[in-house]
Amino acid sequence: MDFDVSKLSEIFRIPEGHYTIEHLQHGHINKTFRVIENGTPRFILQKINTGVFNNPDSLMANYQLVTSSLNASFRSGDFRIKTPEIIQTQDGSLYYTDNQINYWRLITYIEGIEFDKVRRDDHTAYEGGLAFGSFLSGVSGIDPALLYVILPDFHSLQKRYSDFLNAMESNPANRASLISQEIEFVKSRNRSMQIIPDLIAKGEIPLRVVHNDTKLSNVIFSHEGKAVGVIDLDTVMPGSALFDFGDAIRSCANSACEDEPDLTKVMFEIGFFKAFSKGFAHSAKGILNKTEINHLPESALLLTYIIGIRFLTDYLNGDVYYHTQYAEHNLVRARVQFSLLSQMESQLNEMHLIINQLVDNLSEV
């Protein structure tokens, strides 16, 4: 840890106190610490990964715009989901640069249970859907043009697929020959994944302000199991609502962890898909157009595919993007996504039936 915590209140606008910090393991990009005072978590301190986020000014400007708008709605009672607030440095900056040119930010802590203690059940999936649907509707008043595009083409299939082909051809870590099965899997699906990208290109699926990183671990749950917060706003940018829905499904409808090595434990839980969709439809209704609603199931397949490709590409590149704990970590992660994707493919009709039923029920209300 290269941050001197005894200087925290000299650097940021917080009361003086005896603070300690604890490294949190989740998150594959930034380094995240919980700041504790007398046994109580008070703030979150993050070292921004500037290899990924190379413009901290734009990153933090987006963060500020989004959280100040959402938290204003929260305070007026229009919105039940909290987002972290930025704590400025003593000189009014949104982040602190140390003498090693590391970038640090301090944000408020949203009280909730540890993510690994959150129960995986229908209720949690429903609450997750409510949270991300509320987020979407909460930011719908922000003009997408006001946000910087922090990571261009973030969920672009074309970019991710061509990055994958390049990694395969240049093969910098000499790993391509170890994964011929996975490479075949990726190639065989590329065409069928074009439906949503084509509709986006035609403008039938609009660009909105979206979260873009809707893993269930980015929802904070209260001890009673209610979704109370949405965190990790680094990727909030113009994108499609289907990115948020699809990314959330690949995470919340997976019975296992994102890096479960035993694929027999990886089950696509269609019950969780149904519950999440119900929560999402409830809080985002009135926002989504018909084309978006009709393609909710395909978005789950698309995002599962895209995230799987990204893990596999990083494996081919020698683990240069995601934090990894062991040599095969990215490959294990990719295999989990591909297993989920295969299961979703065989249950696509059921997923459509669920969404159709949900739409019928909503229009009767």
Cβ proximity to ligand GN1, 130 vs 233, nearer residue: 233
Distance between CA atoms of 263 and 268, rounded to whole angstroms? 11
What x-and-dash track marks residues 74-113 binding Mg ion by CB under 5 A? ----------------------------------------
How many alpha carbons lie under 13 Å from residue 283 in its C-beta half-sphere?
27
Q: Which of the ranges 22-30, 84-92, 103-111, 181-189 carries the binding residues for ligand GN1, by CB under 6 A? A: 22-30
CB of 215 to Mg ion, least distance (A): 7
Q: Which of residues 219-238 bind Mg ion (CB under 5 A)?
A: 232
For residues 241-280, which are near ligand GN1 according to CB under 6 A?
258
Task: Residue 94: name its binding partner from Mg ion, ligand GN1, none (Cβ under 5 to 8 Å by kind).
Answer: none
Q: Which of 14, 27, 134, 344 binds ligand GN1 (CB under 6 A)?
A: 27
Q: Pick one of 59, 248, 307, 354: the residue that binds ligand GN1 (CB under 6 A).
A: 307
Please, what is the Cα angle at 268 between 28 and 153, to 5 degrees?
45
Residue 55 beta carbon to Mg ion: minimum distance, rounded to whole angstroms: 16
- Euclidean distance between CA atoms 73 and 75, whole angstroms: 5
Round to whole Å and give the CA distance between 127 and 230. Answer: 11
Does position 48 interact with ligand GN1 (CB under 6 A)? The reply is no
d(Cα 38, Cα 235) in Å, to the nearest integer?
33
Stretch that binds ligand GN1, among 24-32, 175-183, 192-200, 201-209 (CB under 6 A): 24-32
Which of 58, 66, 244, 52 has its CA nearest to residue 144? 66
Residues between 186 and 215 with contacts to Mg ion, criterion CB under 5 A: 213
Residue 111 CA to chain centroid, in angstroms? 19
**Beta carbon nearer to ligand GN1, 212 or 277:** 212
Q: H/E/C letters for each residue in 273-288? A: HHHHHHHHHHHHCCCC
Taking alpha carbons only, the member of 111, 362, 363, 354 closest to residue 253 is: 354
Phi, psi of 158 (to 5 degrees): -60, -45
For ligand GN1, the binding residues in 224-243 under the rule CB under 6 A are 232, 235
| Nearest residue to Mg ion, by Cβ distance, number only | 213
Task: Give me the least distance between CB of 96 and ligand GN1, in Å please.
Answer: 20
Q: Which of residues 329-358 bind ligand GN1 (CB under 6 A)?
A: none
Query: Which partner from the list ligand GN1, Mg ion, none does 215 bind, CB cut-off 5 to 8 Å by kind?
Result: ligand GN1
Of 160, 175, 211, 215, the one binding ligand GN1 (CB under 6 A) is 215
Residues in the chain: 365
CA 168 centroid distance within chain? 26
Instruction: Report the distance separating Cα 253 and Cα 219, nearest Å.
Output: 14
**What is the sign, positive or negative, of the torsion defined by CA atoms of 61, 203, 191, 252?**
positive
258 near Mg ion (CB under 5 A): no
CA 180 to each of CA 25, 43, 166, 283, 312: distance values in angstroms, whole numbers, following the listed order: 31, 45, 15, 43, 11
341 binds, among Mg ion, ligand GN1, none (CB under 5 to 8 A by kind): none
Of the candidates 5, 21, 24, 52, which one interacts with ligand GN1 according to CB under 6 A?
52
Instruction: Enumerate binding residues for ligand GN1 (CB under 6 A).
Output: 27-29, 52, 213, 215, 232, 235, 258, 307
Instruction: Enumerate binding residues for Mg ion (CB under 5 A).
Output: 213, 232
